[in-house]
Chain A
Amino acid sequence: SQKIEQNSEALNIQEGKTATLTCNYTNYSPAYLQWYRQDPGRGPVFLLLIRENEKEKRKERLKVTFDTTLKQSLFHITASQPADSATYLCALDMLTGYSTLTFGKGTMLLVSP
């Protein structure tokens, strides 16, 4: 069966360090992978999209990699700040052709001052 796995335990890091979150998937062949941020009681907010033919994508302090051989995406936040504390969700398209995403459970990131 299709499965998306993200670190189930919260990730605690010190301010200024680089946070690395992992998204692994099985039995999928996604054309795109997206990362979202979700704060408590709020809807997810889109961060980055990476295509299967792209190895890496950057946006300010954020970097995403996509390895279709390993079936894995890594999400990096450099120079992390307490304001980066949130749950981060990875999502894969279902290849329906219409913006339909399958989400992982998300990883909670806690950045301490």
Chain B
Amino acid sequence: DAGVTQSPTHLIKTRGQHVTLRCSPISGHKSVSWYQQVLGQGPQFIFQYYEKEERGRGNFPDRFSARQFPNYSSELNVNALLLGDSALYLCASSLETGNSNSPLHFGNGTRLTVT
């Protein structure tokens, strides 16, 4: 079975531009989460979507937005890019059972570099 797939794998953008990152969850997983991982740090929660609805949002500015489609894939959008947005963006899917003990299955991320 295919794991979580993310595209693109690498991306270079200029300050002020916007970016769209894509994620396909494991088949059968209805929950998708996005995390940002800056070099040397652990992943930091950005969003969680379940059944196309936003269920959680981390401490990120409104420049960050996301959505989930009927096939449970997801997009993360970042507007007005800043140098500090350079990071590895990770998507994770899980079997959402309504409690917080579902392990997350991560993709290998999109490495975003803002110059």
Chain A: residues with CB nearer than 8 A to chain B? 4, 31-32, 34, 36, 41-46, 49, 51, 89, 91, 93-106
Contact = CB atoms under 8 A, between A and B. Distances in A.
Interface residues of B, number: 31
A99 B106 contact: no
A104 B44 CA distance: 9
A34 B103 contact: yes
A96 B40 contact: no
Given A43-B4, A44-B90, A105-B40, A99 B102 contact: yes
Nearest first, the 3 closest Cβ-Cβ pairs linking A and B are A43-B106, A103-B42, A93-B100
A25 to B, nearest CB: 12
20 contacts: A32-B100, A34-B103, A36-B106, A41-B111, A43-B106, A43-B107, A44-B43, A45-B106, A46-B104, A89-B42, A93-B101, A96-B56, A97-B98, A97-B100, A98-B31, A98-B55, A101-B43, A101-B45, A102-B45, A104-B42
Interface in B1-54: 4, 31, 33, 35, 40-45, 48, 50
B108 A43 contact: yes
A51 B102 CA distance: 12
Interface of B: 4, 31, 33, 35, 40-45, 48, 50, 55-56, 90, 92, 94, 96, 98-109, 111
A97 B41 CA distance: 24
B41 A105 contact: yes
A101 B35 CA distance: 10
Contacts of B4: 43
A98 B109 contact: no
Nearest to B50: A98
Contacts of B41: 105
Contacts of B90: 43-44
A21 to B, nearest CB: 13
A104 B40 CA distance: 11
